A and B are shown apart, each in its own frame.
Chain A
């Protein structure tokens, strides 16, 4: 395994008696795009704020590129952050906000920043007070990508962006990955995580309940297979991996627990006219983790 860009070891944060994050241990490799999934209040932002040193851990430790996260002056040169709710100085123009953030960060690729301003269509002359939520978000995104920082910490970065801008955001993440930058993307927008991330961690009530590559997560879960037959459908209920069989007008609908190989073998000699398969979306996986439990606070699955 490649070196860790982000190393988190037993990180715990309690506010009074409320445990916001419970013994989180996680490694994100250099160059990886890691998705951090969870409903509101699961501890995603708490984790990022701990990594940034905005709040202090109750227990455990974390490092970024081998440096303890408490070493703000050195660690923060290597990272850039986009919060989910960007607040700017109302009197400053967008351009001035970008200038301020670039100066404070100390590192900026000016040519790339110009390109990003074009790409996100940001009107820099407007004062931050007049910006909509989406525009404030753009300012933080441009400032963060323009640093070309080794590690990008993105906390629901596309909230308030329109679909076109979300697409631009995805292309920026893609470009960052090609340059070898590491991305920690916290989100509850599943399609975003599904498209961008190689691995996903699922948080629930402050605990990391699953870490897996997206493919593997899908494989762990149910998929559906619809098979149309020319003639009477066979009895497939005893084939390994088949959980449920429902008849359809043209054939059968199978719910699978696992790989579809045995089913394909079983139907190979038969007159099959069509096969449609539907993999479990991340959304379904997500609901499986959160939806079933009344105490889970419900999945925020938009």
Chain B
């Protein structure tokens, strides 16, 4: 029997652990909406000029089927809606598995559940907070549309739809948190389902006569709301029923398992595989193999999709004089050629590879936080031995990721109508690696000085730099501000030759940062 005090304490706890992420995400999504609406109104795009683009199967697969290209709102829902939904869904499932499985895995629920609160009530409290967090994103998006002068009904409908898609995948994460005992597995499983749901939506939109498949996936339901177009409310039915059903399933499953375990019990035993336990480098590789498969798989698929749409996009841009002019004005003239479009996409690859490197260094920081490194450093292993091995393996994985992405892009392009050699594709992705090196350097420096800042500062700086470079011209930022972003100093290879001076300068700065950070780490107290 939980009193009001117990429940409100549980609510405050859950709020504390998700509120910051929810606010940051809401702000980012709202910003993207405002900028996309702005780009539609200033570019002079019309429904007729976009219709050829909206009819192309590969474009439809990526962005979804357009239901209204005649208004800025409808265009924005089509152009950005699916991506915002996927980002919101991923955040929701990560937050959910973190508080519903991660906390339990760490043993903290053992403590909570000894207070006068039953497990189902505790889960319901967390659901309440997660619902509010998803709702916040919906409100933020709706306000962004309305503030940009779009009609209220479509704005509100899209906001509700986005929030419900996020909530659906939050409850998917809640169910996987009951099924398996480890947060990583629960998040991986739920993430896989997001991927499958998106893939079903892609097939539904790209194929002829496969439109009914849209009814199988939350991303399809969001599409079928047709905000600013048909404003069809019927798709709200599955969007409301899914989280309710999954929430009920969560409570049902939670009552049938032991605390600390999933429904599927992990035997928790295994054979001894000594091969990669001999040296810090071997162990570092062992720790990163799984990450390489996951990131490599994701980047390869992304590369394939980018490659597949390259021909269509460049044709579309070239055949619309007004857009051609606009892209030239925005310093994005390279977009008009195959190599140019690929180069622009490679900047995004750079952002993702940099994220990988930051997360890879975060693992070292986690090992230290969890006290595992005491035993390592009590052996004749110096701090530089250990950190150096982690940095080296992370950097090698980043290079492999660049090669894998290049292969994906190349295959996607070869499958389509245009041509680009594998060599050119490879030059494009390798060209952006100095940016990853720079991110790694900053991360190592922060790790040496203030480990808790590795993820927020490096991650934040990366996003800011990326947005400044690609939205900067549209926002009329001055040159010195653009120069601050390292993305601005990357040549658009393979459309342009590699800017060797910038490349070497960035690599040199990265090396200095890595050395300085490593030295600071060697000198500081272990936590």
Q: Which residues of A contact B (CB under 8 A)?
A: 49, 52-56, 72-77, 79-81, 83, 85-89, 93, 95-96, 99-101, 103-106, 123-127, 129-130, 140, 143, 153
Contact = CB atoms under 8 A, between A and B. Distances in A.
Interface of B: 182, 268-274, 277-280, 283, 370-372, 374-383, 523-526
B380 A74 contact: yes
Nearest to B268: A130
Contacts of A83: 371, 374-375
Contacts of A54: 374, 377-378, 525-526
Contacts of A53: 377
Contact of B269 (A72, A74, A127): A127
Given A73-B382, A125-B270, A56 B523 contact: yes
A96 B268 CA distance: 13
A262 B320 CA distance: 114
A111 B375 CA distance: 22
B379 A101 contact: yes
Contacts of A73: 380, 382
A52 B383 CA distance: 12
A87 B380 contact: no
Nearest to A77: B380
Given A81-B374, A140-B375, 17 more contacts: A49-B526, A52-B378, A54-B377, A55-B526, A87-B370, A87-B375, A93-B272, A95-B272, A96-B272, A104-B380, A105-B380, A106-B379, A125-B271, A127-B270, A130-B268, A143-B375, A153-B378
Contact of A96 (B277, B280, B371, B382): B277
B381 A104 contact: yes
Residue from A74, A101, A153 having most chain B Cβ neighbours under 10 A: A101
B378 A76 contact: yes
A81 to B, nearest CB: 4
A55 B521 CA distance: 11
Given A49-B526, A103-B279, A127 B268 contact: yes
B367 to A, nearest CB: 8
Contacts of B378: 52, 54, 76, 79-81, 153
A56 B370 CA distance: 20
A89 B382 CA distance: 19
Q: Dominant SS at the B interface?
A: loop
A104 to B, nearest CB: 4
Contacts, number: 93
Contacts of B280: 104
A192 to B, nearest CB: 21
28 contacts: A49-B526, A52-B378, A56-B523, A56-B524, A72-B383, A73-B380, A76-B379, A76-B380, A80-B378, A81-B375, A81-B378, A87-B370, A87-B371, A89-B372, A93-B271, A96-B273, A96-B274, A101-B379, A103-B279, A105-B379, A105-B380, A123-B269, A125-B269, A125-B270, A125-B272, A127-B268, A127-B269, A129-B268
Contacts of A126: 268-269
Contact of A104 (B269, B270, B379, B523): B379
Contacts of A80: 378
Contacts of B376: 104
A99 B275 CA distance: 10
B371 A72 contact: no
Contacts of B370: 87
A208 B268 CA distance: 45
A54 to B, nearest CB: 4
B525 A56 contact: yes
A120 to B, nearest CB: 17
A80 B375 CA distance: 9
B488 to A, nearest CB: 40
A105 B380 CA distance: 6
B186 to A, nearest CB: 14
Contacts of A85: 371
A179 to B, nearest CB: 20
Contact of A99 (B182, B274, B382): B274
A200 B372 CA distance: 29
A9 B13 CA distance: 47
Contacts of A123: 269
A72 B380 contact: yes
Contacts of B377: 52-54, 72
Nearest to B374: A83
Report which residue of B270, B370, B382 has the largest number of chain A beta carbons within 10 angstroms of its beta carbon: B270
Contacts of B379: 76, 101, 104-106
Contacts of A86: 375
Contacts of A89: 372
A75 B377 CA distance: 11
A21 B451 CA distance: 25
A59 B372 CA distance: 27
B498 to A, nearest CB: 40
B372 A87 contact: yes
Nearest to B290: A91
B348 to A, nearest CB: 32
Contacts of B274: 96, 99
A49 B277 CA distance: 25
A18 to B, nearest CB: 13
A75 B382 CA distance: 11
B392 to A, nearest CB: 17
B188 to A, nearest CB: 14
B252 to A, nearest CB: 26
Nearest to B526: A54
A281 to B, nearest CB: 33
A100 B279 CA distance: 8
Contacts of B382: 72-73
Nearest to A89: B372
B178 to A, nearest CB: 18
A103 B375 contact: no
A99 B277 contact: yes
Contacts of A72: 377, 380-383
